[in-house]
Amino acid sequence: MNWVNVRGGENVDALNVLETSRVQYEWRKSAWEKTQELRRQPGYEEVFLLETASQLGVRLSRVLDSLHIVTLEESMTFAEFPDVVGIGGGYTNIPYNGGVVKAKERPCWQIPLRALLPRRCENLIIGGRCFGFEEGLAEDAREIGNCLLTGQAAGAAAAAAVEQRTIPRELDVPRLQRLLRQQKVNLG
């Protein structure tokens, strides 16, 4: 079996449903046509298309305008934050300081609660691929491991805000961190 990940194309606006529908249509058609083409090659007559994804997946579009935007520099220098709620992983080879740093040489990086809190909206917490980070960190921030981490932090923070009867940005952070540690979250 051969699994193929296709790319949407240059400058496709992930927020425009007509464009994402067009891309989805074109790639499905292309997958079908490529399979037929392959079947015409000697030795490949039995090849068939097993499955295509049920819907198009968007790698990244908008990210949060947060109280703190995590930077690539912070991720490379293990910047410490008093309101750390998770330690992200460096999953990808990343361009940095004119070179490329390999994933296995990357340090882990702290994610502060403020990166999950919008600057201009009080009662909202964002976990997953769209918390606040700069573009250079996007390839890492959106990885599943980091989505799990920010998702857990966001959930715990929401519960803590209800318990403490306050808005997320006024949480008693050490108390939230104690809760996360009880849940076996590594905060360093």
150 vs 126: CA distance, rounded Å: 8
Q: What phi and psi values does residue 133 have, to the nearest 5 degrees? A: -145, 155
Residue with smallest beta-carbon separation from ligand FAD: 128
Minimum distance, C-beta of residue 58 to ligand FAD, in the bound complex (Å) = 6
Contact residues for 98 (Cβ-Cβ < 8 A; gap 6+) = none
Q: Give the helix, strand, coil percentages of the chain, each rounded to 5.
A: 40, 10, 50
124, 147, 158, 187: which one contacts ligand FAD (CB under 6 A)? 147
With residue 162 as reference, give the H or E element that holds it.
helix 144-164
Q: Is 4 in the site for ligand FAD (CB under 6 A)?
A: no
Helix or strand or coil: residue 172? Answer: coil
Residue 106 engages ligand FAD in binding (rule: CB under 6 A): no
Closer Cβ to ligand FAD, 23 or 164, answer by number: 23
Per rule CB under 6 A, is residue 57 in the interface with ligand FAD?
A: yes
CB nearer to ligand FAD: pick between 90 and 173: 90
Among 66, 113, 129, 160, binds ligand FAD (CB under 6 A): 129
